[in-house]
Amino acid sequence: GAVVSQHPSWVICKSGTSVKIECRSLDFQATTMFWYRQFPKQSLMLMATSNEGSKATYEQGVEKDKFLINHASLTLSTLTVTSAHPEDSSFYICSARDGLAGSNSYNEQFFGPGTRLTVL
């Protein structure tokens, strides 16, 4: 099956620093990648959708200047949390699929293992 990896799996940082999280599709080309955030005992919240080679589409309420997304290749997307604060502490999960967002051939999303971010 399709495998998606994330790195790091957990990170602890000081307030004000920036943190980069990588999401890679290991055995397929991910035209579309999604970034989610999940707070304890809550559901997944979509932060942004990115298609390879184009700018990410952010959900309402998500600051695009704070959460920088780069989807430069078909196998790699990065999320950078800039100037992180304690309220940014959360479980960040990426997912990937090999169909364009909005296309007629909807494919399953394959999830990475997640990255737990703790900002002190």
Give yes or no for a contact between 63 and 6, defined as CB atoms under 8 angstroms apart: no
β-pairing verdict for 19-25 and 67-73: unpaired
Which of residues 9 and 15 has its CB atom nearest to another protein in the complex?
A: 9
Which of residues 83 and 103 has its CB atom nearest to another protein in the complex?
A: 103
Min separation Cβ 99 and another protein, Å: 8
N-term to C-term CA, the chain = 37
Min separation Cβ 16 and another protein, Å: 26
Residues found near another protein in the complex (CB under 8 A): 34, 42-46, 49, 91, 93, 101-103, 106, 108-114, 116
Min separation Cβ 89 and another protein, Å: 14
Which of residues 20 and 116 has its CB atom nearest to another protein in the complex?
A: 116
User: How far apart, in whole angstroms, are the C-alpha atoms of residue 102 and residue 93?
Assistant: 21
Provide the token pair at 7.
């790195």
Number of neighbours of residue 98 by Cβ within 10 angstroms = 16
